[in-house]
Structure 1
Amino acid sequence: MGNNGNNPKQGSQIAVEPIKQVKDLKAIKQLLRSKPRDYALFVLGINTNLRASDLLSLTVGQVEGLQPMDELVIQEQKTGKQRRINVNKAAVDAINGLLAAMPEVDAEALLFQGQRGPLTVSYVNRLVKSWCKALNLKGNYGSHSLRKTWGYHQRVTFGKGLPELMVCFNHSSQRQTLDYLCIQAEEIKSVYANEL
């Protein structure tokens, strides 16, 4: 095997970051506006806490006819557990835009398809990297950045509590959630900024 710096050593991980600036999220949406599949993938990814593998396993029948805040039930690819999430208006609108652009498809067909068939997580990884590169975002981004972005903005932008996010991510501790969202250092630093 060659020495490829992009591949972690066995047992180690390369952590990807969330997309932290709302203006960057808006810019990526604008970049993808004319590509219904990629737009839906991005919008659904940043508006749910689904892993890329779970996004890619969605079928047309699972999402057809969804209304904002309807419940979507999936079986997680990683854990095999059944998961229930609610989809917001932005996600529903993006899904409906994709469905409108698709040819007539069977309800069992996968929602996210490419010219050569179903999309893969590694392909989504390349897509996310290319979107972030197009905006000259500095950092390490990949398919998991979508899920992390959802959590980051739930905490930082919308002020959701760690206990709720812990449950959403199925984490065992609040520290794990802070580490996962790449905000632990920021939250700790903010404590020292408080003046008495």
Structure 2
Amino acid sequence: MNFVQPIRDIDKVIEVQSFLSNRNSRDELLFCFGIYTGLRISDILPVKKIDVFNKDVFFVTEIKTKRSRKKSRKYTTKKRIPIVPHLKKLIAIYCNDLDMDDYLFKSRQGRNRPITRVRAYDILREAAVACGLKEIGTHTLRKTFGYHIYQETKDVALLQDIFGHSAPYITLKYIGVNQDAIDRAYGKLDFRG
């Protein structure tokens, strides 16, 4: 499994959005939906127009696995997601031609089915290559959201709660902040005297 990184540079975020905008409005919305909500791709793909159109918030039921030494069990949590103004505007423009029961990220194959995780990955990889980014995948959207929230607030407890992580260290590692510190530490090494 490859470890993917957030897009740290805001100019690169804008470049990726612009690239996708020039190709396909669905793909641009997919990218923006991920970086503005912080949701997993598995929670993004099932979203329908009725869930988000003309709304300030929407609700997602997340399926999580709680692990203990003895066993794992699945449970669900309902999460309230605010829709920021820029995302709300993109949704309004994009949804003009959709029926209320249509998936936002509708596949061109079949009648009304969402694109697959693989297709979402391919979309992001194509944009990454075009924009000169490496270590990009579907989790990049969620990590980019977290990285930029952290850079703005420095509130790891807030992100820990948003992501449902059990410890601050996990959150900092997940959004790439620990990797930044590791890279800086390596960069300071100089044994030449």
- CA distance in structure 2 between the partners assigned to 1:36 and 1:185 by the alignment: 33
- CA distance in structure 2 between the partners assigned to 1:26 and 1:110 by the alignment: 25
1:77 is displaced (CA, Å) by 4.8
Structure-to-structure mapping, 1:53-132, within 5 angstroms:
53-66=42-55, 70-77=56-63, 80-100=76-96, 102-103=97-98, 105=99, 107-116=100-109, 117-132=113-128
- Note the alpha carbon deviations across 1:142-168, whole angstroms, 9 max, x for none: 111001000011112x13400101001
- CA distance in structure 2 between the partners assigned to 1:154 and 1:172 by the alignment: 18
- CA distance in structure 1 between the partners assigned to 2:83 and 2:63 by the alignment: 19
- CA distance in structure 2 between the partners assigned to 1:31 and 1:185 by the alignment: 27
The residue number in structure 1 matching 2:142 is 147
Q: Is the aligned partner of 1:179 residue 2:173? A: yes
How many residue pairs were aligned? 171
1:187 is displaced (CA, Å) by 4.4
Percent of aligned positions that are identical: 27
Paired AA for residue 105 in structure 2: F
Q: Give 4+ residue runs of structure 1 displaced > 6 Å after superposition.
A: none
The residue number in structure 1 matching 2:163 is 169
Paired AA for residue 45 in structure 2: L
- CA distance in structure 2 between the partners assigned to 1:121 and 1:56 by the alignment: 8
Paired AA for residue 177 in structure 2: I
Paired AA for residue 43 in structure 2: D
Structure number having the greater strand percentage: 2
Would the aligned equivalents of 1:53 and 1:77 in 2 still touch at CA under 8 Å?
Answer: no
1:85 is displaced (CA, Å) by 1.3
- Note the alpha carbon deviations across 1:64-98, whole angstroms, 9 max, x for none: 112xxx22111125563211111111211111121
- CA distance in structure 2 between the partners assigned to 1:160 and 1:49 by the alignment: 16
- CA distance in structure 2 between the partners assigned to 1:98 and 1:47 by the alignment: 16
- CA distance in structure 2 between the partners assigned to 1:90 and 1:51 by the alignment: 20
TM-score w.r.t. length of structure 1: 0.80
- CA distance in structure 1 between the partners assigned to 2:90 and 2:135 by the alignment: 26
TM-score w.r.t. length of structure 2: 0.82
RMSD: 1.9
Q: Name the SS of the counterpart of 1:140 in structure 2.
A: coil
- Which residue, out of 26, 36, 47, partners 1:47? 36
- Note the alpha carbon deviations across 1:127-149, whole angstroms, 9 max, x for none: 11110100111x21111100100
Structure-to-structure mapping, 1:12-23, within 5 angstroms:
13-23=1-11
Paired AA for residue 27 in structure 2: D
- CA distance in structure 1 between the partners assigned to 2:17 and 2:170 by the alignment: 29
1:113 is displaced (CA, Å) by 0.5
- Which residue, out of 28, 31, 37, partners 2:16? 28
- Note the alpha carbon deviations across 1:45-80, whole angstroms, 9 max, x for none: 1111111111111111111112xxx22111125563
Unaligned runs of 5+ in 1: 1-12
